[in-house]
Amino acid sequence: MGEISPAIDSKLKHPELFRNQAYVNGKWIEAKSGKRFDIIDPGTNEKFASCPDMAAEDVDDAVKAAHEAFLAYRTFTPRTRADLLAKFDALIREHKDDLATILVFETGKPLAEAYGEIEYATSFTRWFAGEAERIQGTTFPAAMPGRRIFTIKQPLGVCAALVPWNFPIAMVLRKASAALAAGCTMVAKPSPETPLSALTLAYLAEKAGYPKGVFNVLPTTLANTPSLSEALCRHPTVKKVSFTGSTRVGKILSAHCASTLKKLTLELGGNCPFVVFDDANLDQACDALMALKFRHAGQACVTANRVYVQKGVYDEFAALLAAKTQEIRVGHGMDKSTTMGPVTVPTGLDKVAAQVEDAKKHGGVVVTGGNRITSLNNGYFFEPTIIANATQKMKIASEETFGPLLALFPFDTEEEAVKLANDTSMGLASYCFTKNVDRIWRMFENLEAGMIGLNSGNSSAAESPFGGIKESGFGKESGKDVAINEYLITKTGTLTLEGQY
């Protein structure tokens, strides 16, 4: 096993929660190659732990274990599955302090945001504990006499979860909670940057009483991620893949899954528009935008990327937003005064810096920020940045940023705003702020996205279907009925009766 840095070890109340081996078939194991990789704290650019570098050769054992477990787990009653999820949920909440600490060291997000992610994540365990007992078939009146038609719902089988680094606990639990509630088993592949939080979840799932093989975790490096993911996608025993990540990778995985016609859920890129009209409550819009844009340093798929502001309030809104942005305190996530941490990967710094330079070349004005921060512990820090006078020629208009940078685009009419907002191949989320109820309905119907925030910057909730359209993917996670159905098959029975009565 790899060593744990004193920097994090001293902050854990229950050090046994820190797990740095892969979890397969109820056992903590190393990769067949024996190789391990380092986990880096983005707030200091220093190693604080290591994990086994699982590869494609390790996939088959995990899938076989999950399948053997499925043969028994699928027979568990809905009440039993609900009780297991409830115990899992209780253990996660009980150990939220240590989970939050691990999250900060893995992702760089401030401690308060780490607690927020855990609260959000456990909303899925709680929600799907209830959904487990509400999986129902149906009956249909038949057109032919003497015939009865009915359906039952059954779990798919072994499922694979490919999760990103920006919300590693929430994304694991949003997928795993639905799968486990449905009666499926799971093999999770966390991001190379954030394997430890997923492994802690595996430990707590074991303590909750899940049988061996029901929930498995395969950490791996960025170098081995493509081949390991392909092995999961092509494995004939894996019946469903759920992926959260970029559109580019989503298309590759979709091709891999096509060979076995797997069920697939894809939650992909965002590039989300945020539209502010003249009649909006500017304080309400600004507060929503601040939380939406600078949470986790702008590293969320649903974050606002392009901010369209009607010209009548453009200058006022820009000034209000700049004043609030300048109050952000950048620092290490464990510092309680920090309100924005580093980006999680160093390439994120390069992308934000390139978009700032491109915007300036095309006439953009840096209202605040615009620079890397080199004075904070060698971490991956960038100033929260606002670009004014943005145009469609800039990279920020067409590229998802995934960093603490937003651009303000002026517009004149509602028709123009809709056209600009929809001018993207993505369609995950859109946001609109206005006090005109007629316009609210028009924008809801005309904006091309799977989720629309209407005077709201938060579209994510366990009870709300989550997913996009266009090149932002397909399928839904969370919400009533739709999410758990992603892990079920519908089997139709047709019975012909003899005789009449």
pLDDT of residue 1: 56
Annotate 230-296 with DSSP letters as a single string: HHHHH-TTEEEEEEES-HHHHHHHHHHHHTTT-EEEEE----EEEEE-TTS-HHHHHHHHHHHHHGG
CATH number of the domain at 57-268+473-489, please?
3.40.605.10
Q: Helix (H, G, I), strand (E, B), or coil: what is residue 367?
A: strand
Annotate 384-451 with DSSP letters as a single string: -EEEES--TTSHHHHS---SSEEEEEEE-SHHHHHHHHT-SS--SEEEEE-S-HHHHHHHHHHS-SSE
Sort 474 into a burial class: Cβ within 10 Å, 0-12 / 13-18 / 19+: middle
**What tokens appear for 179 in the block?**
């799968």
Helix axes 225-234, 59-73, angle to 10 degrees: 40
Helix axes 111-131, 96-107, angle to 10 degrees: 120
pLDDT of residue 501: 52
pTM: 0.95
Q: What are phi and psi of 76, to 5 degrees?
A: -65, 140
Beta bridge mates, 153: 490
Output b/e per residue, 86-107; b: 16+ Cβ within 10 A. bbbbebbeebbbbbbbbbbbbb
Mean pLDDT of the chain: 96
3-state DSSP percent of the chain in helix, strand and coil, to 5: 40, 20, 35
- Summarize pLDDT for 468-491 with one digit per residue, the tens: 999 999 999 998 878 999 999 999
- Summarize pLDDT for 107-164 with one digit per residue, the tens: 999 999 999 999 999 999 999 999 999 999 999 999 998 899 999 999 999 999 999 9
Mean pLDDT of 34-45: 96
Q: Helix (H, G, I), strand (E, B), or coil: what is residue 70?
A: helix
Q: Which amino acid is at 40?
A: I
Mean pLDDT of 188-216: 98
- Strand spans (E) along 302-375: 304-310, 365-368, 372-373
Mean pLDDT of 361-367: 96
- Beta strands at 451-454 and 429-433: parallel, antiparallel or unpaired: parallel
- Summarize pLDDT for 433-461 with one digit per residue, the tens: 999 999 999 999 999 999 999 999 988 89
57-268+473-489 against 272-461: fold identical? no
Q: What are phi and psi of 239, to 5 degrees?
A: -100, -15
What percent of the chain has pLDDT above 70?
99
Confidence class for position 2, pLDDT limits 50, 70, 90: low
Q: How far apart are CA 217 and CA 125, in angstroms?
A: 18
What percent of the chain has pLDDT above 90?
94
Confidence class for position 349, pLDDT limits 50, 70, 90: very high
Domain borders along the chain are 57-268+473-489, 272-461
Q: Is 247:166 a contact under the CB 8 Å cutoff?
A: no
Sort 445 into a burial class: Cβ within 10 Å, 0-12 / 13-18 / 19+: exposed
The torsion angle over the Cα atoms of residues 187, 192, 195 and 197, rounded to 10 degrees, is -120
* pLDDT at residue 225 tops 60: yes
Q: How far apart are CA 180 and CA 176, in angstroms?
A: 6
Radius of gyration of the chain (CA): 24
Q: Helix (H, G, I), strand (E, B), or coil: what is residue 355?
A: helix
**Catalytic residue numbers?**
267, 301
Q: Is 50:19 a contact under the CB 8 Å cutoff?
A: no
Mean pLDDT of 26-36: 98
pLDDT of residue 500: 63
CATH number of the domain at 272-461, please?
3.40.309.10
